[in-house]
Structure 1
Amino acid sequence: MLLDPNVGLIIWTLITFVFVLLVLGKFVWGPLTSMLDERETSIREALDLADKARAEASAAAEENKKALAEAQAEAQAAINKARDDAERVAREVRERAEAEAQQLLEQARQTIQQERNQALQALRQQTAELAILAAGQLLEENLDSEKNRKIVDDFIARIPDAQQN
């Protein structure tokens, strides 16, 4: 009994199977394949976007490296410029100080020379006055003031100049 095939049942089973296949093919298979195609497309787009984002991130990282290198180069250039400027300013200050010291030394020499000349002039004047007094007392003659002045001028002319000493 179990192996007795019933032809009617087999035909109805085949008809039902074909009908279910047609219904599934028309109503289920099309939407199922389109849904799988859409899913494949969305996954492919997501992968493309991920690749694009990775490439952009890599490019941004390279740009950041370049910007960092440029910033470091600019910073080093600024440091070098500041160092050079500081050295230049220090050199200028030192040269200016040396020039001022030299100028002060020269002014001091000139002041000393002027004071020496003034002292010699005062000494000559006093010597002349003493010479006039001494000459007047020694000679005890009545010379007028003009003759006295001439004698003193001759005496002063014989005194060595301060510049020669």
Structure 2
Amino acid sequence: MSINATLIIQMIVFAILVWFTMKFVWPPITTALDERAKKIADGLSAADKAKTELAAANKRVEAQLSAARDDANKRLADAERLAQQMIEEAKGRASEEAAKIIAAARAEAEQESVKAREALREQVAGLAVKGAEAILRKEVNASVHADLLGRLKAEL
């Protein structure tokens, strides 16, 4: 009997232990496990959300980088076009300046030519007067001399 009584007492103690565990120990463990599962689920959803936000942020960054590259290329093209325009304007001004210098040089050459002609005319006139004086000293014939002076004047 002692085995039977011990076995029954052990069964009663075990039942009390099971009841005590189910009533006082098991609910806090279950609550702690549920809270931990909830925290893990929240962490995973936060990680997924962060991953999605990171992908969206990467897309925005790529879009901004692309826009910045396009803007830089546009500014570079504008700067090159402006530089080309400035070069063309400088060439035009240089061409105009060269034309002015050439025109001034031609005008100066023309003036020098006119001055040289005038000096030559004066010298020829002086020689003509000397020739006339020489002729007049040798003989004085008014009609011949007038004819001669008229031809000289026409040649000058």
What is the match of residue 128 of structure 1? 125
The equivalent of 2:69 in structure 1 is 72
Amino acid at match of 1:31: P
- Per the TM alignment, residue 136 of structure 1 is displaced from its structure 2 partner at its CA by 2.2
Q: What residue is the counterpart of 2:49 in the other structure?
A: 52
% identical aligned pairs: 34
In structure 1, the residue matched to 2:108 is 111
CA distance in 2, matches of 1:100, 1:159: 41
Q: Secondary structure at the match of 1:95?
A: helix
Residue 126 of structure 2 aligns to which amino acid in structure 1?
A: E
| Deviant stretches of 4+, over 3 Å | 8-11
Q: Which has the higher helix share?
A: 2
Give the 5 Å matches for 1:89-108. 89-108=86-105
Amino acid at match of 2:62: K
Q: Distance in 2 between matches of 1:45 and 1:159?
A: 120
Separation in 2, partners of 1:39, 1:82: 62
- 3-state SS, counterpart of residue 140 of structure 1: helix
Paired positions, count:
145
TM-score (norm 1): 0.75
Cα separation, 2, equivalents of 1:27 and 1:132:
154
Quote the residue 1:29 is aligned against.
Answer: 26
Partner of 2:85: 88
Stretches of structure 2 lacking an aligned partner (at least 5 in a row): 139-148
* Counterpart AA for 1:26: K
What SS does the corresponding residue of 2:12 show, helix, strand or coil? helix
Q: How far off is 1:62 after superposition?
A: 0.3
- Deviation per CA, 1:4-63: give whole Å up to 9, x if none: x83x44543342222112211233101101110111111011112101210111011101
* Corresponding residue number in structure 1 for 2:146: none
Alignment partners' CA distance in 2, 1:22 and 1:32: 15
1:139 positional shift:
1.6
| RMSD, aligned α-carbons | 2.6
Give the whole-Å Cα distance in 1 for the aligned partners of 2:129 and 2:10.
Answer: 170
Aligned-partner residue type, residue 123 of structure 2: Q
